[in-house]
Chain A
């Protein structure tokens, strides 16, 4: 087989360089995200990220059984078997949170973040595909302020006001690489190697706004948890054709991510940067439970798609061995293991493309219109014994381009998390994401010259 680069190879070279550069820089940059996220990212290992593909995002963040050639969904590697194009996908998201405490205090938080960088290509078109994914696995980006006064009794200064910021920064990343292959026309399987790595920093930063540092020095205390480990995800997809009518497809898919044991250390430092003093170190492990994703997808002709999905992960079995030999590190997870719950999630969604596969219809007829909804029991809670539920709706547009296989996806989401009851925070969140999925036949001999 003779490899043939596209004629505009210079442009592609630039693109690949850009993607590689982004891959190299995205992790550390995103890990330094600011305190613009949910308070619940304080617990566990942060807020879990669920991105699979732009299409999945708009369909209730599910679509684990939905075959597609326009995306490379990372949730189920069996779906990589259908790759036709060499594909690069990048997605960014803007999220706004209106957080409300039981006492009625509220704050509006918002920022952008990287959702994923994905590259995939077929080894054998529509039979065997390779996928590479780098995306956040969890994000900790809360920031909570406490204000008060402290009696210091220094000369005339008997009382000083202080402001303490509790900050969470960083998170874990997932690098997933694997294969998805077609066994028969009805059966697809996939497997990945997943490397999970990263660090979560919990910082308590205290300052005294109205008093000079010579009188009362500001202080910073940080506990950084750094872990890494390897696991694997196995996926399968079964397709049944002409079930209810001609040209329809019923898909059933599932994936299982095996339990992971992440090893690393927790380090407590006082002060920052060059002045930082390490005051405690503890090595340990944390166990991430298995996660099952399963779904049903129904292609009703070429115009309608319906999905229904579920996720389950027994996070209540989460275990961490840090801190037992260094009490000053505090508990991990924060709040104790009582803050961990089993996670489950149910979602549904539908997609409608008026033109189906007809490329000669109008632009808006070739646009995909998507809606989805979900309900989730979050894997963490700020009040042990009380579950935190997340309910949301998603939607989006999949905009075609002049290049077959390349689409621009706009996705919107809105939802609520938690409740305004004792020890819980209610988040009302909304936002959108922009994803560009570029697909082109690559490394393949053109049929026509």
Chain B
């Protein structure tokens, strides 16, 4: 019996040994590549866009708080000034700002003065000269849907003017006593109807008087500072925070961009629409293949940018660049939360016009869509053998008004490396 049990144990052990031996076998490579091995060698293919056009979609540059307690988080910048850029032409901007009356406003014995306090946050143009800005009284209430080219907006005469250097970060403008005497009581109005503060005071308008620069002010940290005496010999101040803003942008002269480039400009709404034909070469020859990398490359003509930049002239960096990929009609199904199923499956955010949002990165040489997003898009497109999106819109829109330009190389660029392209690294299988 013992002997048989020993045999049984040996037999069982041998079986288990055989199984574990199979699992633990080392993965030794031959290191040889007979010609009969097919596929498996990664290649990078490059596709040119079959659409690459600019179009204009002027931005909404106004922001209005929806309630007295809320302050919009975006669009809190106003632009003021005119800049003549050899690359772009001349762009003139005008900023409107309105202020919210504080809740604790009360009676006053006298008004000692009113200051306009502005915080700078954006500069575009000549940094060596002083910019002079006029302050005017607005006579039209800012609407939330005003676009940068809104027409028919009127405003009053110049109240005062102030100078601002490129290095200034905070500007305090003392409004003239005549204006304070005439308008100060309005700031303390607690009436309703036509005598209310909101109806009587529509804010201020900042326009350019001189200087080759556009300056941006942060509405959220700008305010009207009112020094007053609530009672005899008692001094106090009130701050009226910026609550509404609007920037008007107008191009007055146009410069021609170099050949082989397209000029995009925020604020003016010059955007780009592009697309790739996945039914054409080189994609039509790939079949269904694993995609190791996909990168959308949109080169910037940095040479032209440098050569067209005068001394002591600054062009701000782009603040918000993204690609809006619009889903084809058949892939616009939404989830219960309102997202596009397509965007969700690709790990992208849903945005307007049945589109998925792809953030772009900016380097000194160009824009790039991240591999993480583009790889999934290209692999799934090849997998389904049909495009997922019918167009890709490149938008310059940070949510804040800017007039920052972008000079993109086009498919006609003489240098092949400067042409926009979709570079895809795949592993052919056959």
Partners in one complex: yes
Give residues in A with beta carbon < 8 Å to B. 7-8, 11-12, 14-15, 18-19, 22, 25-26, 29-30, 32-36, 39, 88, 90, 92, 94, 99, 101, 103, 105, 107-114, 117, 142-146, 148, 150-155, 160, 162, 164-166, 204, 206, 208, 214-221, 268, 270-271, 277, 279-280, 327-328, 330, 334-335, 339, 382-383, 401-403, 406, 423-425, 434, 436, 438
In the bound complex, residues from chain A placing their C-beta under 8 Å from that of B7 are 401, 403, 406, 436, 438
CB contacts (< 8 Å) of B44 on chain A: these are 150-153
Query: Are B15 and A219 in touch, CB under 8 angstroms?
Result: no
User: Cβ of B429 and Cβ of A206 under 8 Å apart?
Assistant: no
Q: Are A114 and B18 in contact (CB under 8 A)?
A: yes
Closest to A223 in B: B429
* B176 CB within 8 Å of chain A: no
In the complex, identify which listed stretch (B22-30, B74-82, B113-121, B269-277) lies at the interface while the others stay far away.
B22-30
Chain A: minimal CB distance from B153 (Å):
46
Shortest distance from the beta carbon of B238 to any chain A beta carbon, whole Å = 53
**CB contact under 8 A between A18 and B8, given known A111-B26, A112-B21, A145-B30:** yes
Contact A105–B11 (Cβ < 8 Å):
no
Determine whether the beta carbon of A107 is less than 8 Å from that of B36: no
Closest 10 pairs between A and B when the two form their complex, measured CB to CB: A112-B21, A219-B290, A111-B25, A101-B32, A145-B29, A92-B18, A34-B25, A8-B1, A15-B8, A164-B40
Tell me how far the C-beta of A262 lies from the nearest C-beta in chain B, rounded to whole angstroms.
Answer: 24
Indicate with 1 or 0, residue by residue over B384-423, a CB within 8 angstroms of chain A CB atoms: 0000000000000000000000000000000000000001
Stretch at the interface among B207-215, B221-229, B291-299: B291-299
4 extra interface residue pairs, beta carbon distance < 8 Å, beyond A218-B292, A403-B7: A114-B22, A162-B42, A206-B427, A280-B288
Decide: B11 and A18 in contact? CB cutoff 8 A: yes
18 inter-chain pairs at a CB distance below 8 angstroms, sorted by A residue, are: A12-B4, A15-B11, A15-B12, A30-B18, A32-B22, A33-B22, A34-B23, A90-B11, A101-B34, A112-B25, A144-B29, A154-B423, A204-B427, A217-B292, A327-B287, A328-B287, A382-B34, A403-B3
Shortest CB distance B18–A (Å): 4
Q: How far is the CA of A328 from the CA of B427 in the complex (A)?
A: 13
B28 and A36 form a contact (CB under 8 A): yes
Contact (Cβ within 8 A) B26 A107: no
- The CA of A423 and the CA of B383, in the complex, are separated in Å by 33
Min CB gap B106→A, angstroms: 59
B38 within 8 A of A: yes
- Do A330 and B292 contact each other (CB < 8 Å), given the known contacts A107-B31, A206-B427? no
* Cα of A280 to Cα of B288 in the assembled complex, Å: 9
**Roughly how many angstroms separate A152 CA and B1 CA in the complex, as a whole number?**
69
What residues of A have a CB within 8 angstroms of the CB of B34 in the complex?
39, 101, 144, 382, 423-425
Given A143-B27, A330-B429, the answer on whether A436 and B10 have CB atoms closer than 8 Å is yes
CB distance from A140 to the nearest CB of B (A): 13
In the complex the two chains form, is A146's CB within 8 Å of B37's CB?
yes
| Residue among B1, B26, B363 making CB contact with A34, cutoff 8 Å | B26
Please, which residue of chain A has its CB at the minimum distance from the CB of B425? A152
* Residue in A35, A101, A270, A423 whose beta carbon sits within 8 Å of that of B27 in the complex: A35
Chain B, residue nearest A112 (CB): B21
Q: Which residue of A lies closest to B3 (CB)?
A: A402
CB contacts (< 8 Å) of A94 on chain B: these are: 21
Contacts of A113 in B (CB 8 A): 18, 21-22
What is the CA–CA distance of A334 and B36 in the complex, to the nearest angstrom? 9
B281 at the interface (CB under 8 A from A): no
B359 → chain A closest CB, angstroms: 15
CB distance from B234 to the nearest CB of A (A): 64
- Residues from chain A with Cβ under 8 Å of B292 in the complex: 206, 208, 216-219
User: Would you call B159 an interface residue if the criterion is a C-beta within 8 Å of the partner chain's C-beta atoms?
Assistant: no
Contact A26 B19 (CB under 8 A): yes
Q: Is B375 part of the binding interface, using a Cβ–Cβ cutoff of 8 Å?
A: yes
Q: Which residue of A lies closest to B426 (CB)?
A: A219
Q: With CB as the reference atom, state the residue of chain A lying closest to B29.
A: A145
Nearest A residue to B37, CB-CB? A166
Q: CA–CA, A120 to B80, complex, Å?
A: 97
What residues of chain A lie closer than 8 Å to B290, measured between beta carbons? 206, 219-221, 270-271
B289 surroundings in chain A (CB, below 8 A): 221
CB distance from A88 to the nearest CB of B (A): 8
Q: Does B372 contact A (CB under 8 A)?
A: yes
List A contacts of B429 (CB < 8 A): 204, 221, 328, 330
Measured in the bound complex, the distance between the Cα atoms of B425 and A81 in whole Å is 62
**B14–A434 touching, CB < 8 Å:** yes
Residues of A within 8 A of B379 (CB): 270
Given contacts A92-B17, A406-B7, whether A99 and B12 have CB atoms under 8 Å apart is no
A209 to B: closest C-beta gap in Å: 13
Residue of A nearest to B375 (CB): A217
Q: Is the CB of A328 within 8 A of B288?
A: yes
For A279, the chain B residues whose CB sits under 8 A away are 288, 383
Q: A11-B4, A204-B427, A216-B425 are in contact. Are A101 and B30 (CB under 8 A)?
A: yes
Across-interface contacts of A25 in B (CB, < 8 A): 19
Contact of A29 among B19, B27, B288, B427 (CB under 8 A): B19
Q: What's the minimum C-beta distance from B240 to chain A, rounded to whole angstroms?
A: 49
- Contact across chains for A214 and B371 when beta carbons are under 8 A apart: yes
| Best-surrounded residue of A34, A280, A403 (most CB of chain B within 10 A) | A34
Q: With an 8 A cutoff between CB atoms, is B39 at the interface?
A: yes
Are A144 and B4 neighbours in the complex by a CB distance under 8 Å? no
CA distance A152 to B375 in the complex (A): 14
C-alpha spacing A160/B43, complex, angstroms: 11
Q: Is the CB of B32 within 8 A of A144?
A: yes
Q: Is B178 an interface residue (CB 8 A)?
A: no
Report the separation of the CA atoms of residues A93 and B3 in the bound assembly, to the nearest whole angstrom. Answer: 24
Is the Cβ of A29 less than 8 Å from the Cβ of B15? no
Which residues from chain B contact A268 at a C-beta distance below 8 Å? 288
The CB with the most chain A CB atoms within 10 A, among B21, B287, B291, is that of B21
Complex-state Cα separation, A112 to B28, whole angstroms: 14
Verify if B5 is at the interface (C-beta below 8 Å from A).
yes
Among B4, B29, B32, the residue within 8 A (CB) of A425 is: B32
A422 to chain B, nearest CB (A): 8
Of the candidates B3, B33, B423, which one forms a contact with A153 in the assembled complex, judged by CB atoms under 8 Å apart? B423
**Chain B minimum-CB-distance residue to A29:** B19
Q: Is B35 interfacial (CB-CB < 8 Å)?
A: yes
Q: Which residue of B lies closest to A157 (CB)?
A: B293
Does chain A have a CB within 8 A of B68? no
**CB distance B14 to A436 under 8 Å?**
yes
* Complex interface: chain A residues within 8 A of B1 (CB): 7-8, 11
In the assembled complex, the Cα of A155 lies from the Cα of B287 at a distance in Å of 27
